[in-house]
């Protein structure tokens, strides 16, 4: 919600007026010097929208504010040209409304277009989020990173490396949505206050690593050539892409990292297809390269890659993980009910590479049980487990 500065206004006053932590207002207006507000300047108030209200008989600003649990000056801020003593029946005014509802929809398959719409709406409602494009898919789709928080500790989560594991995207975005609602409503998750976490931790999130693949699984073959013909050929002529894990070029993006990639190259399929092909060389695919570039440019203390399925958490690689990795995974297990597994006969994954290169904690989290793509009927159950892990990622 946008307001215009009046004489004598300050970010501190807006914080008190709207009951929003002042840091969220400051971070929503990074281009503004808080000590040099100018009359008429536009300021963003996070977690609020404005709506039109038609004046009825005997209504006053005070009555409207009381009914909506608002300070009447919050209404005056949005209606600086009205005379509160001369309201007319039928007159339209703007009313600030605190956002208390979720944006993320868990009722239908979650494709790339839904992601774009939700990222834009979340960024509009909560402008303290930093959004950036970290790269592009084979077909040119933007790969988004969202950042939230001010802490020196930086943690990263991602999802939908694998196309038919697309349910991981709305899962982690649901957590982000709940986190944002808690921050702007002075709330908590699992009785843990959220505003201190915002100050202590910077959360980096890439919700859809493989947008071309996700759309292929949900929508079927693209219209564009040669992609349409290529994926149908790789899928043995079938138009059922529910088993497709790879990107649009038939490369498994989580077999792309230079962490004993040669072993995967030798024992996995040597041709592009729905799953398991590690590519012609490490980081050959732009989606995998985008995540690698982001990781190199950041100082992540820890990474979480969300996949499905198995209800397990993989946390080791070649004994290169630090001692704190086990402490953290035990907390993940405690809050989720998932089983920690240190090692598995698999290489070249993102968390493998992160542990190898930085000797810091990295985790692959396999959400839910069943056959991919997991049905949305499991969403709430999966989310409860994932929420505990994502929250622990902030406080540990």
Give the pLDDT confidence of 91-131 residue by residue, as tens digits: 999 999 999 999 998 899 999 999 999 999 999 999 999 99
Structure confidence at residue 128 (pLDDT): 98
Structure confidence at residue 342 (pLDDT): 97
Q: What is the pLDDT of residues 170-179, one digit of tens each?
A: 999 999 999 9
Q: What is the pLDDT of residues 42-83, one digit of tens each?
A: 999 999 999 999 999 999 999 999 999 999 999 999 999 999
Structure confidence at residue 233 (pLDDT): 98
Strand, helix or coil at 121? helix
Whether the Cβ atoms of residue 18 and residue 12 lie closer than 8 Å to each other? no
Mean pLDDT of 296-305: 98
End-to-end CA distance of the chain: 33
Distance CA 157, CA 332 (A): 14
Structure confidence at residue 141 (pLDDT): 98
For the chain, which residues make up each domain, given as ranges? 2-98, 112-213+282-395
User: In Å, what is the CA distance from 47 to each residue of 122, 177, 186?
Assistant: 9, 11, 11
CB atoms closer than 10 angstroms to residue 188? 12
Contacts of 120 (CB under 8 A, 6+ apart): none
pLDDT band at 10 (very low <50, low <70, confident <90, very high): very high
Structure confidence at residue 228 (pLDDT): 98
Structure confidence at residue 162 (pLDDT): 98
Whether the Cβ atoms of residue 4 and residue 41 lie closer than 8 Å to each other? yes
Mean pLDDT of 337-356: 96
Mean pLDDT of 376-380: 97
Distance CA 103, CA 173 (A): 9
Per-residue burial over 354-365, b = 16 or more CB atoms within 10 Å of its CB, e = otherwise: bbbbbebbbbbb
The residues annotated as belonging to the active site are: 347, 366
Per-residue burial over 202-214, b = 16 or more CB atoms within 10 Å of its CB, e = otherwise: bbbbbbbbbbbbb
Mean pLDDT of 250-259: 98
- Whether the predicted model's global pTM rises above the 0.85 cut: yes
CB atoms closer than 10 angstroms to residue 108? 10
CB atoms closer than 10 angstroms to residue 136? 15
Distance CA 5, CA 138 (A): 45
Burial (Cβ within 10 Å: 0-12, 13-18, ≥19) of residue 175: buried
Distance CA 209, CA 112 (A): 10
Structure confidence at residue 28 (pLDDT): 98
Percent of the chain with pLDDT over 90: 98
What does 148-190 look like in DSSP terms, one character per residue? Answer: E---SEEEEEEE-SSGGGTTHHHHHHHHHHHHHHHHHTT-EET
Whether the Cβ atoms of residue 257 and residue 292 lie closer than 8 Å to each other? yes
Mean pLDDT of 188-211: 97
Mean pLDDT of 380-391: 98
Q: How is domain 112-213+282-395 classified at the architecture level of CATH?
A: 3-Layer(aba) Sandwich (3.40)
CATH of domain 2-98: 3.10.350.10
Q: What is the pLDDT of residues 227-245, one digit of tens each?
A: 999 999 999 999 999 999 9
Distance CA 119, CA 138 (A): 21
**Average pLDDT over the chain, rounded to whole?**
97
Structure confidence at residue 89 (pLDDT): 96
Strands (E), the chain: 2-4, 42-44, 48-54, 92-98, 130-136, 142-148, 153-159, 188-189, 192-193, 201-206, 300-308, 312-314, 339-341, 362-367
Whether the Cβ atoms of residue 192 and residue 391 lie closer than 8 Å to each other? yes
Distance CA 331, CA 237 (A): 45
Contacts of 313 (CB under 8 A, 6+ apart): 329, 332, 333, 336, 338, 339, 340, 341, 363, 364, 365, 366, 389
Structure confidence at residue 12 (pLDDT): 97
Distance CA 20, CA 186 (A): 7
Structure confidence at residue 204 (pLDDT): 98
CB atoms closer than 10 angstroms to residue 235? 18
């Amino acid at each position: 919600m946008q307001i215009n500065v009046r004489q004598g206004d300050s970010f501190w006053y807006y914080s008190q007026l709207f009951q929003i932590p002042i840091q969220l207002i400051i971070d929503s207006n990074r281009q503004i010097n808080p000590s040099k507000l100018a009359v008429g300047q536009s300021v963003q108030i996070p977690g609020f929208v404005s709506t039109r209200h038609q004046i009825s008989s005997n209504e006053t600003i005070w009555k409207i504010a009381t009914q909506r649990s608002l300070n009447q000056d919050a209404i005056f801020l949005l209606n600086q040209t009205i005379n509160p003593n001369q309201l007319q029946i039928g007159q339209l005014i703007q009313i600030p409304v605190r956002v208390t509802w979720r944006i993320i929809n868990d009722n239908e398959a979650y494709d790339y277009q839904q992601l774009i719409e939700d990222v834009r709406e979340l960024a509009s409602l909560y402008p303290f989020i930093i959004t950036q494009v970290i790269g592009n898919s084979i077909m040119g789709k933007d790969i988004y990173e969202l950042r939230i928080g001010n802490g020196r500790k930086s943690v990263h989560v991602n999802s939908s490396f694998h196309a038919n594991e697309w349910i991981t995207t709305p899962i982690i975005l649901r957590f982000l949505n709940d986190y944002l609602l808690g921050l702007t409503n002075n709330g908590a998750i699992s009785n843990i206050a959220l505003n201190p976490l915002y100050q202590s931790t910077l959360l980096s999130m890439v919700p859809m690593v493989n947008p071309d693949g996700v759309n292929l699984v949900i929508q079927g073959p693209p219209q564009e050539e040669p992609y349409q013909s290529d994926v149908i050929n790789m899928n043995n002529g079938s138009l059922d892409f529910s088993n497709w894990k790879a990107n649009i070029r038939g490369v498994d993006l989580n077999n792309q990292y230079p962490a004993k990639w040669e072993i995967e190259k030798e024992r996995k399929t040597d041709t592009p297809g729905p799953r398991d092909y590690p590519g012609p060389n490490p980081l050959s695919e732009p989606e995998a390269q985008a995540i690698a570039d982001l990781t190199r440019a950041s100082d992540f203390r820890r990474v979480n890659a969300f996949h499905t399925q198995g209800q397990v958490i993989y946390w080791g690689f070649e004994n290169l993980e630090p001692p704190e990795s086990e402490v953290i995974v035990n907390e993940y297990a405690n809050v989720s009910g998932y089983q920690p597994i240190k090692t598995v006969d698999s290489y070249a994954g993102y968390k493998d590479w992160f542990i190898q290169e930085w000797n810091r904690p990295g985790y692959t989290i396999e959400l839910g049980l069943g056959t991919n793509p997991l049905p949305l009927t499991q969403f709430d159950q999966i989310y409860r487990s994932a929420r505990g892990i994502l929250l622990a990622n902030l406080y540990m």
